[in-house]
A and B are shown apart, each in its own frame.
Chain A
Amino acid sequence: MRKVFRTKMMPILASVLTLSLIAACGSTGEQKGSAAPSNAPAASASKEPMKISFWTPLNANPKAVVKNLGELPMVKEWEKRTNVAFEFRHSSGNTPQDDIQQYGVMIASNNLPDAMLWNWDSVQGGLPKMFKDGTIVKLNDLIAKNAPNLKKIIDENPQIAKQIKADNGDIYVLPHLRVGQYGQYKTFSGMMIRQDWLDELGLKAPETIDEWETVLKAFKEKKGVIPFTLDKGTPISNWDFAGAFGVPGIGATANAGSFYLSGGQVKFGPIQPEFKQYLATMARWYKEGLIDPDFASNDAKTKDAKITSGKAGAFFGYIGGSMGTYMPALQKANPKAQLAAVQYPVLHKGEEPKFINTAWDYDNVGTVITSSNKHPEETVKALDYLYSQEGALLKNFGIEGQTYNMVNGQPQYTDLILKNPDNLPISQAMAKYFIANYGFTGLDDDRYNDQYYQLQAQKDAVKIYAKYAKNAYSVMLPPVSLTTDEAKEAAKILNDAGTLLTEQITKIVMGALPLDSYDKTIDQLKKMNIDRAVAIYQAAVDRYNKR
């Protein structure tokens, strides 16, 4: 019976470990609290200094430079101003799967932090299920009474109220928002390619799948490199070429991202005939050596190494996190190396891409307050500060005089960020001092992007990806919420379907299974009741539209 014990013991061990950690953190935290000055601004400050434990996976940028978000000068200043000390706990590991697993252990052990920040798409059933389970609390009243800044934004922007509310009107999250004058940019990722090789081979940036094939073939034959690479974190079909065929692919775990809207009807991408066409193309490309042969086992680090050592020609990446870090690394070895953004691919010349990795104003990232939080009012107050003008400036630009100065009324990063004395790339220099280049409760600020994107290639990229981004809203599912029963049923179906799909798709692309076996996969998905999952999401979309 060892197996049962092992699964049972893990949460217990984990909680023992966490408990000892909390105990260890406690002593240092207290000192911090007492050191905080009492002349903090009254509006969002708590009367008593307090400690709030806060769980969130650490984004790759801060992970490279700090061990804990508490080390950030911005966070320390935020604590001073609000009198609330957040004690951050992060999950370890490098993949979204690691975060999901560690979140699972944490919840199973029922040893909850006071607040948690994540992309809540990662949890099956999402926020309504967490509320029903008693893990988190409802925030409507707390926001009305303690979050004047957020309340104002919600009142002024009905579309945001629609996005962050559950169907019954409950609010469970203090959202990460891109809204208002400085919240226009919403697409930060897409295809990237070695522009210097394109130029060298006399090729133009590919637009259609056929042009992509020509380019990748040329990379393979003339440059002898891996033409297109990807890693486990964004499994094949996630954000590569499936969109060109008119369907979304699968994610690292099966989730709502595989559904899309076609004329108001919800559909499941991987069971459409277009998806099979996509698979046929990928299998052919793989056979011809156009796709990294190790794509199923690459992790993010292996992929980074392949790109920065000049062994790969094209990939899906982020303007800041990928392009911004790969370029300097690439150019160190080869000053001529250039990366460029390429428009999301389409099937036929002249079409406009629709499946674009873009976000709603609220991108499902936000902070929830758990049921074990003893000071929900103070927690909400402190987080609400990040929605104020002053707070957003602190979050996105850090401390005036240290990381930014006001020039003509606009915040300008200092050289500590832009030309970091320790030679940190900008993305990491930022991450060492404040929270601007990844999702966090509060408001994003486009002025950060304008300066963050130092390279011309990045400034171009943001425009290229933004060009058709609005199309995405016609096919993307809105941020719907499911009832507990629906969530449970859909989760069960998607769990089963997810394993099957990753397995079959990987095998078909790698040629271990013939393309025609995908028909059986679709039959099997139907047996797993995928149509029921579609119906569930359809109902949720209908409810969303009526909000």
Chain B
Amino acid sequence: MAKSIRLLWDDVRKNRAIYLMVLPVVLYFFIFKYFPMYGAVIAFKDFTPAKGVWGSDWVGLEHFKDFFESYYFVRVLRNTFLISFYNLVFGFPAPIILALLLNEIRQKLFKSVVQTVSYLPHFISLIVICGLIIDFTNRGGAASSLIAFFGGPSTPLLNDAGYFRPIFVSTSIWQEMGWSSIIYLAALSGINPELYEAAKVDGAGRFRQIWSVTLPGLIPTIMILLILRIGGLMEVGFEKIVLLYNPNTYETADVISSFVYREGLAQGNDYSYTTAVGLFQSAINFVLLISANRISRRFSGSRLW
């Protein structure tokens, strides 16, 4: 023990600048990520603001029991999983495909225009994005008019529970596809050009090159990102959901985080209960992340740790 501390101290002295650079990041994680974690204890307490986090009475697992027995338990669990799952199935490959396509373009100007345009939605405020989505899908909006033109119903699409998930997932892809492709483009530029030349000499066409050189070069990046995505599978951010849903679409739209928001802040002020629900979600994500990492390590050799 003492020895390792001495080793660490020697290292700090040797690489002072590097440790200094990492300090703000460590502090950030400590202050904003680890320190607030103490608040999670209210999941096991009957929290009243006036008594404070420590002063409130313990109630054990009561809030968890309440949630598991709740009428809404199965529904929010199902919705969270499905929305996230669709996002993974359709949203995860999208930036990879975009990156592969961009990589094949030799015309510089066209490539950068496409890239810039596809990043743009990422920088637009979510409130504005949701305003656009609501307008487009409203009665007489661009999207609903198009559907009506092909004989569909002329209703505000977001009033229909059946349309909520497709709208949510497809707009999420539109928002994030360009931005997420950057990391793949970076990985692509790291592939040794000699491999392509060798493939050409061996008579490989473009598709064969993608299949045998580009994709294998991307696999480590893809796996790492996939593991991270699976780790967040039981999580859908509440902001976009809350901005888009209404009582008509609760059935397919209400996820754990929006449930927590509604019961905890918007209506009920039931802080302990909703903290328990959030903690439950985090616990599932934790298990998912570890399993995904294990599986990936066994089958592809890529892993987070």
Where the two chains meet, the residues of A that have a C-beta atom closer than 8 Å to any C-beta of B are 1-5, 7-10, 12, 97, 100-101, 103-105, 107-110, 123-124, 133-135, 253, 293-294, 296-297, 371, 491-492, 495-496, 498-500, 502-503, 505-507, 510, 512, 524, 527-528
Q: From A104, A108, A491, A528, give the contact of B266 (CB < 8 A).
A: A104
B51 close to A (CB within 8 Å):
yes
CA distance A10 to B271 in the complex (A): 12
Known contacts A7-B265, A124-B269; 19 additional CB pairs below 8 A are A1-B285, A3-B278, A3-B281, A4-B275, A4-B278, A4-B279, A5-B33, A7-B264, A7-B275, A8-B40, A109-B49, A296-B248, A492-B270, A495-B263, A498-B267, A503-B250, A512-B160, A524-B71, A528-B71
Q: A135 to chain B: which residues have CB within 8 Å? A: 49-50
CA distance A109 to B265 in the complex (A): 12
B246 close to A (CB within 8 Å):
yes
**Distance in Å from the Cβ of A420 to the closest Cβ of chain B?**
34
Q: A104 to chain B: which residues have CB within 8 Å? A: 264-266, 269
Q: From B139, B232, B278, give the contact of A294 (CB < 8 A).
A: B139
CA distance A109 to B36 in the complex (A): 13
Q: A294 to chain B: which residues have CB within 8 Å? A: 138-139, 156, 159
Known: A5-B37, A124-B268, A296-B159. A134 touches B50 (CB 8 A): yes
B274 close to A (CB within 8 Å):
yes
**Distance in Å from the Cβ of B19 to the closest Cβ of chain A?**
26
Q: From A2, A101, A499, give the contact of B235 (CB < 8 A).
A: A2
Give me 8 A-to-B residue pairs in the complex whose CB atoms sit less than 8 angstroms apart, sorted by A's number: A3-B257, A97-B266, A101-B266, A107-B269, A110-B50, A297-B134, A297-B159, A507-B247
Q: From A108, A134, A491, A527, give the contact of B71 (CB < 8 A).
A: A527
Q: Is the CB of B36 within 8 A of A8?
A: yes
List B residues 249-274 near A (Cβ within 8 Å). 250-251, 256-257, 260-271, 274
Q: Is the CB of A12 within 8 A of B36?
A: yes
Q: Is the CB of B49 within 8 A of A503?
A: no
Q: From A100, A110, A296, A496, give the contact of B70 (CB < 8 A).
A: A496
Q: From A12, A97, A133, give the contact of B48 (CB < 8 A).
A: A133
Q: Is the CB of A499 within 8 A of B266?
A: no
**Distance in Å from the Cβ of B59 to the closest Cβ of chain A?**
12
Query: Which of B36, B66, B246, B285 has most A Cβ within 10 Å?
Result: B36
Q: A502 to chain B: which residues have CB within 8 Å? A: 247
- B57-74 CB mask vs A (1 if < 8 Å, else 0) is 000000000100011100
Chain B: CB-nearest residue to A111:
B49
CA distance A293 to B139 in the complex (A): 9
CA distance A524 to B70 in the complex (A): 11
CA distance A507 to B249 in the complex (A): 9
List B residues 27-57 near A (Cβ within 8 Å). 32-33, 36-37, 39-40, 48-52
B155 close to A (CB within 8 Å):
yes
Q: A2 to chain B: which residues have CB within 8 Å? A: 232, 235, 282
B233 close to A (CB within 8 Å):
no
Q: Is the CB of A4 within 8 A of B37?
A: yes
CA distance A502 to B37 in the complex (A): 34
Q: B246 to chain A: which residues have CB within 8 Å? A: 296-297, 506
CA distance A12 to B39 in the complex (A): 11
Q: From A8, A491, A510, give the contact of B159 (CB < 8 A).
A: A510
Q: A5 to chain B: which residues have CB within 8 Å? A: 32-33, 36-37
CA distance A208 to B53 in the complex (A): 55
Query: Which of A8, A124, A293 has most B Cβ within 10 Å?
Result: A8
B179 close to A (CB within 8 Å):
no
Q: A101 to chain B: which residues have CB within 8 Å? A: 265-266
B286 close to A (CB within 8 Å):
yes
Q: Is the CB of A499 within 8 A of B50?
A: no
Known: A133-B50, A296-B246. A7 touches B70 (CB 8 A): no
Q: Is the CB of B266 within 8 A of A1?
A: no
B188 close to A (CB within 8 Å):
no
CA distance A8 to B261 in the complex (A): 11
CA distance A405 to B170 in the complex (A): 64
Query: Which of B72, B138, B263, B266 has most A Cβ within 10 Å?
Result: B266
Known: A499-B72, A507-B247. A3 touches B268 (CB 8 A): no
Q: Is the CB of A4 within 8 A of B72?
A: no
Q: A103 to chain B: which residues have CB within 8 Å? A: 269
Known: A297-B158, A512-B161. A503 touches B139 (CB 8 A): no
Q: A107 to chain B: which residues have CB within 8 Å? A: 49, 269
Q: Is the CB of A100 within 8 A of B139?
A: no
Q: B267 to chain A: which residues have CB within 8 Å? A: 97, 100, 253, 495, 498
Q: B285 to chain A: which residues have CB within 8 Å? A: 1
Q: A507 to chain B: which residues have CB within 8 Å? A: 247-248
**Distance in Å from the Cβ of B164 to the closest Cβ of chain A?**
12
**Distance in Å from the Cβ of B118 to the closest Cβ of chain A?**
26
Q: Is the CB of B275 within 8 A of A496?
A: no
CA distance A104 to B161 in the complex (A): 29
CA distance A349 to B32 in the complex (A): 65
**Distance in Å from the Cβ of B112 to the closest Cβ of chain A?**
33
Q: From A110, A499, A524, give the contact of B49 (CB < 8 A).
A: A110
